[in-house]
Structure 1
């Protein structure tokens, strides 16, 4: 008898996380993280800030700018590079102050991460320097263009990364006079994706779809169409075909008429966008930390199980570790159903799923992990678990 080899599912990436002087966290610790990690709690308890701290572990300033954008502040990094004005760099540094605990920039932000593979460990320190740092040899200091720019004081926002418990510091950052370095070249330890609590635009989805198709040959392209159609039919059973009309419109053939993506619900768009994001990330063949804020926003309660079944499958297949926040009671009940159906035993579920409740008491954020047995009792009794 020939036995089929089963694909070995690798361990999740991040094991423990310590956060100091970041957002609402003065000194915060998360232990024993799993493949799927769900954060619950009241408004302003720090759930989104946990995801942002994880996002900071990837050494690329452009990603950090996107986190600022999701909060409604900051500038697009490409704009900053293109226009190179002292005022813009100064504005960016001021906006980064919101990352510091109580906006006190005298105390450095420290994010310490312990991975299941020790060689991936990352220590990050974010600090404000009162001088102009030169981040690479090509750096040029900008000249003031007006009296206001002449009065802007010299300072630099510095991101110091240490990998694999090394004492060697690798530095990124930007200064108020335009010096900067935005990415550590050839970094290939892992990938991190941060998806904010925003409905993706049609343009964003078209761009991701087009990129996915560009990376595929004809056979693979047809397989992508078939695979996505099959998955999306769980949301809209009458879909017959996926169509990109020119470069501006995304549509679906439904029997004898066409439905445009713009007319689909926010939950459908969010689900589609998450699938595309995961697919594109997997092309790099790197393990991925996927952070999704308010993961179930826009999803109807009767689609939650389909959503979690697909996400659970993709996390295992693509070596993804998920970090997500939710306020939804329906979402947690769906997680209980899907995990129980998939893994059968509570012990196995506790190896794969972590649910963490964050509570803010005065200025301190505390965390309470829930094992699956307790989560199940709460869900079955309809007890409030925010």
Structure 2
């Protein structure tokens, strides 16, 4: 077993977005987070971006919100918009706190304090949403690693940056392509290409029995999604990675192979996964792959269901191990809420 000392076993956050207080316990390496729409699944992933250096966390949070077009028209100026679906009244100080327990038994407490210079404005996407903006003198660094994969992030220039970090290792590159073969069996080689001296590099794909190359962008969403996830897993070795709506872009008949390669790659790289989905077939194949192909992973699997109290609107997390999760599916219980 590799180094899993940075893996979380419990996590608590207060005053973050819609959560006045939210806690997850008994976490594993493979955490599948489910729940009704708008219950806060994505917000949980964003909270998990926390790290000891507050400026890195704020940078990560800004990038994650930027993925969702929530950070205004000119985020590179350094404006950060922080969202709260609760009616928070700020007079002089507002504190967001995080409490993390790791697999090696250590505990980490982070608190971010925002003072009176915060100003509230109303956003149109939700009647109950508020946002405050503060100015960060250092600006936002988009080159810093943000271990968060949004549900709709397709082909982009960042994929070339990912691959450039992998191709220096022959073994890493060979294993990476082997994993992609689960979705594209004829894929033989991937290279960075710059047709002109001053042009940006892009990824080209060599296929078996075909002389001409094709840009990666020509392949389907499933191939690009798997490429991105595998690269993110390798880059975040020994840490945690948050994946929003992991099923998006994957054809249901390929779910089984998809799950197998994602989970095995994460295990090989000691990466703790937090993944959201509301797709019933995706959940069923997740269970099937663990049960039939990767039974040694059972002890590391958790199903975390988020439930909102109809009266108080408080969201609680219910954690189930693999046996409980499997039983619920086998008897026909709804595990998504």
What TM-score does the superposition give when structure 2 sets the normalisation length?
A: 0.80
CA distance, structure 2, for counterparts of residue 329 and residue 365 of structure 1: 21
Q: CA deviation at 1:321?
A: 0.9
Q: CA deviation at 1:65?
A: 1.0
After superposition, residues 224-243 of structure 1 pair within 5 angstroms as: 224-243=172-191
2:46 alignment counterpart = 52
Deviates more, 1:330-339 or 1:103-112: 103-112
Deviations 1:346-371 (A, max 9, x none): xx72x311101111123211222233
Residue 156 of structure 2 is aligned to residue 202 of structure 1:
yes
2:233 alignment counterpart = 278
Alignment check: 8 A CA contact 1:17 1:113 kept: yes
Alignment check: 8 A CA contact 1:12 1:34 kept: no
What TM-score does the superposition give when structure 1 sets the normalisation length?
A: 0.71
Q: For residues 35 and 79 of structure 1, do their structure 2 counterparts lie closer, same or farther at Cα, with a shift above 3 Å needed? A: same
Q: For residues 311 and 11 of structure 1, do their structure 2 counterparts lie closer, same or farther at Cα, with a shift above 3 Å needed? A: farther
Residue 258 of structure 2 is aligned to residue 307 of structure 1:
yes
- SS of the residue aligned with 2:236? helix
1:102 alignment counterpart = 87
Unpaired segments ≥5 residues, structure 1 = 1-6, 81-88, 131-153, 158-173, 184-190
The number of aligned residues is: 307
- SS of the residue aligned with 1:102? coil
- SS of the residue aligned with 2:87? helix
- SS of the residue aligned with 2:154? coil
Higher relative contact order (CA closer than 8 Å, sequence separation 6+): 2
Instruction: Return the index of the structure with the highest Cα Rg.
Output: 1
Residue 7 of structure 2 is aligned to residue 13 of structure 1:
yes
2:326 alignment counterpart = 376
Deviations 1:267-312 (A, max 9, x none): 2111101111222233xxxx20111111121111122222222222
CA distance, structure 2, for counterparts of residue 11 and residue 224 of structure 1: 23
After superposition, residues 26-105 of structure 1 pair within 5 angstroms as: 26-57=20-51, 59=53, 60=56, 61-74=58-71, 79-80=76-77, 89=78, 92-93=79-80, 95-96=81-82, 98-99=83-84, 101-105=86-90
Residue 269 of structure 2 is aligned to residue 318 of structure 1:
yes
Deviations 1:58-97 (A, max 9, x none): 52032121122123122699833xxxxxxxx5xx25x22x
- SS of the residue aligned with 2:304? strand
Deviates more, 1:46-55 or 1:204-213: 204-213
2:203 to 247, 250, 272: 250
After superposition, residues 317-336 of structure 1 pair within 5 angstroms as: 317-336=268-287
RMSD of the alignment, in Å? 2.9
CA distance, structure 1, for counterparts of residue 73 and residue 229 of structure 2: 22
Unpaired segments ≥5 residues, structure 2 = 121-132, 195-199
Deviations 1:133-186 (A, max 9, x none): xxxxxxxxxxxxxxxxxxxxx4599xxxxxxxxxxxxxxxx954x645989xxx
Q: CA deviation at 1:224?
A: 4.1
After superposition, residues 125-164 of structure 1 pair within 5 angstroms as: 125-130=111-116, 154-155=117-118
Alignment check: 8 A CA contact 1:13 1:116 kept: yes
